[in-house]
A and B are shown apart, each in its own frame.
Chain A
Amino acid sequence: MSIAELFASEFLMRVVIRALVVGVLVSLCSSILGVSLVLKRYSMIGDGLSHVGFFGLAIAACAGAASTYSMEISIPIVILAAVLILRLSKNEGRMNGDAACAVVSTGAVAVGTLMYNFTGGRSGDICNSLFGSASVVTISDKDMVLSIVLSAVVLGWFLVCRKTIFSVTFDETFAGAAGVNTDVFGIVLAVLTGVTIVVGMKMMGSIMISALIIFPALTAMRLTKSFGTTVGLSAVISVVCFLAGFFTACVFSLQTGAAVVTAELLCFAVVCAVTEIAAKVRIRQRGKQ
């Protein structure tokens, strides 16, 4: 389908705009939260939560709620899992955080798949929850409203608490000693991440949604040396990559999630190559002087 045909139909136009709004806002939220998650070595928590999101969708399918109430069911599940994983990963004793995450995420996928089997779900349903829906038609007005509310909360949190976020992300022990309630910070971060994942999952797929959290932050960290600019740049990279991936997917009828993640991967690879070469050139020039 060409872009001209796509925009010719008013219905399709509405669908595309809805998908664009959800996608751009989810990209924005995930990139902002991602900087703290990556720097706190919590990348795996994002990944674990997205698999729990798959489990949530499976439960919704099992309850017969299908797509209409899937959010109401999966959001509380993911929030609970977020708090649980955070608790487990803080526990320095019996099980380390990495292993705890792996247990929760693989377990959730296994049980979720079985639940799809029990409801007689077709493999297409599983495919859609894992890799994102093949078309953006499934994105509803409710998804759009939720993504607007979510991004308002995430942006508000960042703008009001930037100083606390920096302080806790940089050095949690110090922040705790200085009198910051670091537990509240951890829970807010985990809950917002969980909700972002659920909102973005329908389009991106539960396997790939965590890329939205990790890639922009990693790319931005290569380019700047201060926390504030890293967050800003991460947001810009995330939104630009989303738009690039989204329209490429539209034009060539590709899977949206896969196209967006590939765009982010390319962006990361190019930035890595350029910064490496620039560093080599700088060293050589210094050698000549």
Chain B
Amino acid sequence: MTDNLITAERVTLAFDGHTAAENVNFTLGRGDYLCVIGENGSGKSTLLRAVTGEVKPAGGKLTIAPELRKQGIGYLPQQSKIQRDFPASVREVVVSGCVRRDSFGLFWKRESRERAEEYMKLLKVDMFADKSFGELSGGQRQRVLLARAMCASDTLILLDEPVNGLDPEAAHEMYHAVRMLNEERGCAVMMVSHDVSCALREADHVLSMCRGHSFYGTVEQYAAHERSDEETDERLHEHHHHHDHTHKE
């Protein structure tokens, strides 16, 4: 019995009848930080939706740890999906993450409220607790949604392009917050991003879904894989780049 949270073996994903990704293999262990990179349409978001159970894989085997199925997964959607005019305070949004463990009744249990307060403090949004969610800046909103995701699950959070549309400073804060949750709280992270350099800097594992085939490995393996790819390319154009290449080495 392995202790992996997610195991994907030769998974095929289809979206609207089109194959979005084929032969995807990866594992996500407890406390791992996996970054999924790839171009638009490479099936990154569909993969997240397969992990949440919203879409079924068209082929292969995607195993999710039963405890996650039972407790739920913390999910941070793409920015554009959340409505600005929604009448909700920051506190309401964060505590709504506890919906699985505290589903019924008019009011939230003390336990849920305390959990929400804890994560609001940790992600430095507690000073906005009574503000309207729509009044916040992009970076603040993302941290609020991150707190909500942690309320839902401190075992695994899924982040879909978490820094899209944020200014560099807010993006930096967001990455910092995610790393803190991963390192200090031991929460596993699966992040979809198209920013390769940040993925290599932040994550410990990489799943690359571009170019029709997927690559999975540690950040170091991925860097080596990319280098060998470049070398193949350069061997093809040896007469153009030979000198450049030897200089670099």
Binding site for B on A (CB under 8 A): 39, 92-93, 159-164, 166-167, 170-171, 173-180, 220-221, 224-230
0/1 interface trace, chain B 37-54, chain A, CB 8 Å (1 if under): 000000000000100111
Q: Which of B83, B93, B132, B152 contacts A178 (CB 8 A)?
A: B152
Residues A225 and B52 in contact, CB atoms below 8 Å apart: no
Q: Does B168 contact A (CB under 8 A)?
A: no
Q: Which residue of B lies closest to A220 (CB)?
A: B87
Residues A178 and B54 in contact, CB atoms below 8 Å apart: no
Report the minimum CB–CB distance from B90 to chain A (whole Å).
10
CA distance A173 to B106 in the complex (A): 22
Which of B27-35, B65-73, B175-183, B218-226 is near enough to bind chain A?
B65-73
* Secondary structure of the A contact surface, majority rule: helix
Residues B54 and A230 in contact, CB atoms below 8 Å apart: no
CA distance A176 to B92 in the complex (A): 18
The answer to whether A174 and B148 touch (CB under 8 A), given A159-B106, A180-B100, is yes
Jot down 7 A-B pairs with beta carbons below 8 A, ordered by A.
Answer: A161-B103, A163-B103, A164-B103, A170-B86, A171-B77, A179-B72, A230-B87
Residues A175 and B99 in contact, CB atoms below 8 Å apart: yes
Q: Does B211 contact A (CB under 8 A)?
A: no
Residues B99 and A167 in contact, CB atoms below 8 Å apart: yes
Inter-chain contacts of A229 with B (CB < 8 A)? 87
Residues B96 and A92 in contact, CB atoms below 8 Å apart: no
Inter-chain contacts of B99 with A (CB < 8 A)? 163-164, 167, 175, 178, 180
Known A39-B83, A164-B103, A226-B92; further 5 A-B contacts with Cβ < 8 A = A163-B99, A173-B54, A176-B53, A177-B53, A177-B74
Inter-chain contacts of A175 with B (CB < 8 A)? 99
Report the minimum CB–CB distance from A43 to chain B (whole Å).
13
The answer to whether A163 and B96 touch (CB under 8 A), given A173-B54, A174-B75, A178-B72, is yes
CA distance A244 to B92 in the complex (A): 33
CA distance A160 to B104 in the complex (A): 5
Report the minimum CB–CB distance from B75 to chain A (whole Å).
4
Residues A163 and B152 in contact, CB atoms below 8 Å apart: no
Q: Does B203 contact A (CB under 8 A)?
A: no
**Which residues 125-156 of B have a CB within 8 angstroms of A?**
132, 148-149, 152-153
Inter-chain contacts of B103 with A (CB < 8 A)? 161, 163-164, 180
Q: Does B158 contact A (CB under 8 A)?
A: yes
The answer to whether A92 and B81 touch (CB under 8 A), given A178-B99, A178-B153, A179-B70, is no
**Which residues 164-185 of B have a CB within 8 angstroms of A?**
none
0/1 interface trace, chain B 198-229, chain A, CB 8 Å (1 if under): 00000000000000000000000000000000
CA distance A254 to B76 in the complex (A): 52
Q: Does B249 contact A (CB under 8 A)?
A: no
Q: Does B122 contact A (CB under 8 A)?
A: no
B interface bracket (residues with beta carbon within 8 Å of A): 35 or more
The answer to whether A163 and B73 touch (CB under 8 A), given A173-B81, A177-B158, A227-B88, is no
Residues A39 and B86 in contact, CB atoms below 8 Å apart: yes
Inter-chain contacts of B69 with A (CB < 8 A)? 179
Q: Which residue of A lies closest to B152 (CB)?
A: A178
The answer to whether A163 and B102 touch (CB under 8 A), given A174-B148, A224-B87, A225-B87, is yes
Inter-chain contacts of B73 with A (CB < 8 A)? 177-179
Inter-chain contacts of A159 with B (CB < 8 A)? 106
Inter-chain contacts of B88 with A (CB < 8 A)? 166, 170, 225-227
CA distance A180 to B75 in the complex (A): 13
Inter-chain contacts of A164 with B (CB < 8 A)? 99, 103-104
Residues B93 and A170 in contact, CB atoms below 8 Å apart: yes
Inter-chain contacts of B153 with A (CB < 8 A)? 178
Report the minimum CB–CB distance from B162 to chain A (whole Å).
13
Which among B54, B75, B99, B100 has the greatest number of chain A C-beta atoms within 10 A? B99
Residues A93 and B152 in contact, CB atoms below 8 Å apart: no
Residues B104 and A178 in contact, CB atoms below 8 Å apart: no
CA distance A177 to B103 in the complex (A): 14
CA distance A225 to B73 in the complex (A): 28
Inter-chain contacts of B104 with A (CB < 8 A)? 160-161, 163-164
Q: Which residue of B lies closest to A160 (CB)?
A: B104
Q: Which residue of B lies closest to A223 (CB)?
A: B87
CA distance A191 to B89 in the complex (A): 29
Q: Does B82 contact A (CB under 8 A)?
A: yes
Q: Which of A92, A180, A227 contacts B87 (CB 8 A)?
A: A227
Inter-chain contacts of B81 with A (CB < 8 A)? 171, 173
Report the minimum CB–CB distance from A122 to chain B (whole Å).
45
Report the minimum CB–CB distance from B173 to chain A (whole Å).
21
The answer to whether A179 and B87 touch (CB under 8 A), given A164-B99, A173-B54, is no
Q: Which residue of A lies closest to B82 (CB)?
A: A171
The answer to whether A178 and B74 touch (CB under 8 A), given A163-B105, A167-B96, A226-B92, is yes
